[in-house]
């Protein structure tokens, strides 16, 4: 087991290359299984535990995979197993994309129910509603989704909630359905668009991704292709917040500034300077920042995945901030850890009321989930003294080499093995 040790108080300066988007890569890898001919070469794959987990699942289904530093070659011409029921499937959320991918190509699959961060109830009823509308029969038995269809036939599907996972999963299956499928009230996140683009590179016909209506004209077959994953909006947001939190200047490179607008706008409202270039964004901050109110929302609103790191920053901003989490009902578990460092936060249901303090002080804390882990790293960086962060396996699921990237910016942060 490992922990991160942070000696806080250093202002961070420099440039950092942002990796490929986790939430795009974790859908694109299962989607690659739908190519019945040729190899998918995928670049800009982040080196994170969730991706390694998917590589293992993909291999267990019979795909041949070649891994390079930040790329993957997936040959799925000979899938031998339609039963994805392993510990890896249970551990992570995105394993649910094997349902849509296998259903689309083989019209049947058995996939264990997914795990993922403990941030609230995570139903998959909208995924199932979409698959059933396409003509599939779904049974949940012994903790697994058993799905099959004689034929998949395109139809109109109106999602009851805006769901990234359901939009992508049903889009995967519909790509190889007969006729036209229209997804309404679809999620508009950049990673939804990235998956649609990848499918189109494979020979699919998906239009409208990035709006709330996606129209998919089914094709008979998909093929291998070369593709590069978009940059990670959430990793970029985390480093932008770190610049503001430490009173430094960081340029996040290899990003799409448009994807970061809601984060940039909040940092500007707090008093930080944000300068957008073509494919980079610089955040600079010198003085004390002001508290602001934040409400998380589906894209283009403020992303729930940046709420936790941002609420750490608000703990040392001047005045009161109110943070409302409208996506997940249990995404304030980091607050108890922040309190150990002197933060003044009261959580009432889905709202956190934060009274800004002069400073936080180092403590022994834990990462309760992935983005809570990022929030604790930011807290350690801005706090006075030494912070130890435990349970960092959550952080490794989604941030590639977090300590190495922060060291490059001047942070005193190290990974240590915990002696039993």
Q: Which residues are identified as catalytic?
A: 117
Which member of 26, 65, 314, 376 binds ligand EPU (CB under 6 A)? 26
Give residue number: closest CB to ligand EPU.
165
If one asks whether residue 152 binds ligand EPU (CB under 6 A), the answer comes out as: no
**What is the residue-wise DSSP string for 211-261?**
BSEEEEE--S-EE--EEEPPB-HHHHHHHHHHHHHHT-EEEEES--GGGGH
Q: What is the nearest approach in angstroms of ligand EPU to the Cβ of residue 36?
A: 25
Distances (CA, A) of 187 to 167, 253, 327: 6, 26, 13
186/166 Cα distance (integer angstroms) = 8
CA–CA separation, 261 and 45 (whole Å)? 23
- 237 forms bridges with which residues in the sheet? none
Instruction: Give the number of C-alpha atoms closer than 13 A to the C-alpha of residue 340, restricted to the C-beta side.
Output: 17
Stretch of residues binding ligand EPU (CB under 6 A), selected from 157-165, 235-243, 338-346, 385-393: 157-165
Residues 211-240 that bind ligand EPU (CB under 6 A): none
**Least distance between ligand EPU and beta carbon 115 (Å):** 11
> Could you say which residues in the range 246-275 bind ligand EPU, by CB under 6 A?
none
Coil/strand/helix, residue 398: coil
Instruction: Determine, following the binding rule CB under 6 A, whether residue 126 of this chain makes contact with ligand EPU.
Output: yes
Best CA proximity match to 232, nearest among 250, 211, 254: 254
For residues 180 and 188, the answer to whether their CB atoms sit within 8 Å is no
User: Applying CB under 6 A, which part among 28-36, 66-74, 159-167, 271-279 lies near ligand EPU?
Assistant: 159-167
**Shortest Å distance, C-beta 130 to ligand EPU:** 9
Binding to ligand EPU, residues 187-206 (CB under 6 A) = 187
Q: Are the C-beta atoms of 177 and 104 separated by less than 8 Å?
A: yes
For ligand EPU, which is the closer residue by CB, 305 or 337? 305
Alpha-carbon gap, residue 194 to 190, rounded angstroms: 6
Q: What is the DSSP string of 315-363?
A: TTSBSEEEEE--S-TT--THHHHHHHTT-EEEEETTEEEEE--S--B--
For ligand EPU, the binding residues in 85-124 under the rule CB under 6 A are 93-94, 117, 121-124
Q: Which residue has the tokens 């551990």?
A: 91
| Residue (163 or 285) nearer to ligand EPU, CB | 163
User: How many positions of this chain bind ligand EPU (CB under 6 A)?
Assistant: 25
CA distances from 90 to 11, 266, 289 (A): 40, 36, 42
∠ Cα 263 264 266 (to 5°)? 65
**Does residue number 18 form part of the binding site for ligand EPU (CB under 6 A)?**
no
Of the candidate residues 74, 370, 375, 378, the single one contacting ligand EPU (CB under 6 A): 370
Name 228's Cβ contacts closer than 8 Å, sequence gap at least 6. Answer: 20, 42, 43, 44
Q: Does position 158 bind ligand EPU by CB under 6 A?
A: no
290 is in an annotated binding site: no
Q: Does 413 bind ligand EPU (CB under 6 A)?
A: no
Options 232, 235, 249, 305; binder of ligand EPU; rule CB under 6 A: 305
Paired residues of 353 in beta bridges: 322, 346
- Judged by beta carbon, residue 27 or residue 360, the one nearer ligand EPU is 27
Please enumerate in sequence order all residues whose Cβ is within 8 A of that of 68, keeping only pairs 6 or more positions apart, or say none. none
Please state the closest distance from residue 345 (CB atom) to ligand EPU, in A.
20
Comparison of 94 and 214: residue with beta carbon closer to ligand EPU: 94
Q: Per the annotation, does 123 bind a ligand?
A: yes
The site string for ligand EPU over 40-79 (x = CB under 6 A, - otherwise) reads ----------------------------------------
125 binds ligand EPU (CB under 6 A): yes
Q: What distance in Å separates the CA atoms of residue 391 and residue 334, rounded to the nearest whole number?
A: 12
Q: Give least dist CB 195 to ligand EPU, A.
A: 10
Residue 307, marked binder: no
- 18 known ligand binder: no
Minimum CB distance to ligand EPU smaller for 161 or for 275: 161
Q: Can you list the alpha helix ranges (DSSP code H) found in 116-204?
A: 125-133, 164-175, 190-201
Smallest distance, ligand EPU to C-beta of residue 124, A: 5
Sites of contact with ligand EPU (CB under 6 A)? 23, 26, 93-94, 117, 121-127, 161, 163-166, 187, 304-305, 327-328, 370-371, 398
């Amino acid at each position: 087991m490992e922990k991160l040790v942070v000696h806080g108080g250093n202002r961070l300066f420099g440039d950092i290359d942002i990796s490929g988007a986790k939430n795009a890569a974790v859908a694109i890898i299962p989607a690659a299984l739908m190519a019945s001919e040729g190899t998918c070469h995928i670049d800009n794959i982040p080196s994170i535990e969730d991706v390694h987990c998917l590589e293992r699942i993909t291999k267990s289904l019979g795909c041949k995979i070649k891994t390079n530093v930040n790329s993957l070659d997936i040959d799925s011409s000979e899938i031998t197993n339609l039963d994805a029921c392993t510990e890896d499937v249970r551990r992570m959320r995105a394993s649910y994309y094997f349902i849509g991918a296998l259903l689309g190509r083989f019209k049947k699959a058995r996939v264990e129910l997914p795990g993922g961060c403990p941030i609230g109830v995570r139903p998959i009823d909208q995924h199932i509603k979409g698959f059933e509308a396409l003509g599939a029969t779904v049974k949940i038995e012994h903790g697994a989704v058993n799905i099959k269809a004689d034929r998949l036939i395109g139809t109109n599907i109106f999602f009851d909630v805006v769901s990234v996972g359901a939009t992508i999963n049903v889009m995967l299956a519909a790509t190889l359905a007969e006729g036209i499928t229209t997804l309404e009230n679809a999620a508009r996140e950049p990673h939804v668009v990235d998956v649609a683009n990848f499918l189109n590179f494979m020979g699919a016909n998906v239009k409208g991704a990035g709006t709330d209506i996606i129209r998919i004209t089914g094709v008979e077959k998909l093929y291998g292709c070369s593709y590069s994953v978009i940059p990670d909006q959430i990793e970029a947001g985390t480093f932008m917040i770190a610049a503001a939190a430490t009173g430094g200047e960081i340029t996040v490179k290899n990003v799409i500034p448009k994807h970061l607008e809601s984060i940039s706008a909040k940092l500007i409202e707090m008093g930080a300077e944000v300068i957008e270039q073509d494919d980079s964004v610089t955040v600079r901050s010198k003085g004390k920042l002001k508290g602001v109110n934040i409400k998380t929302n589906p894209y283009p609103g403020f992303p729930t995945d940046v709420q936790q790191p941002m609420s750490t920053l608000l703990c040392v901003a001047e005045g009161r901030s109110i943070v409302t989490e409208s996506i997940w009902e249990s995404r304030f578990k980091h607050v108890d850890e922040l309190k150990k460092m002197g933060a003044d936060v009261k959580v009432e249901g889905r709202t956190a009321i934060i009274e800004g303090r002069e400073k936080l002080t180092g403590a022994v804390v834990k990462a309760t989930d992935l983005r809570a882990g990022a929030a604790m790293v930011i807290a350690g960086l801005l706090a006075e003294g030494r912070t130890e962060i435990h349970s960092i396996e959550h952080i490794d699921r989604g941030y590639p080499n977090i300590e190495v990237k922060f060291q490059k910016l001047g942070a005193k942060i190290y990974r240590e093995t915990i002696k039993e």
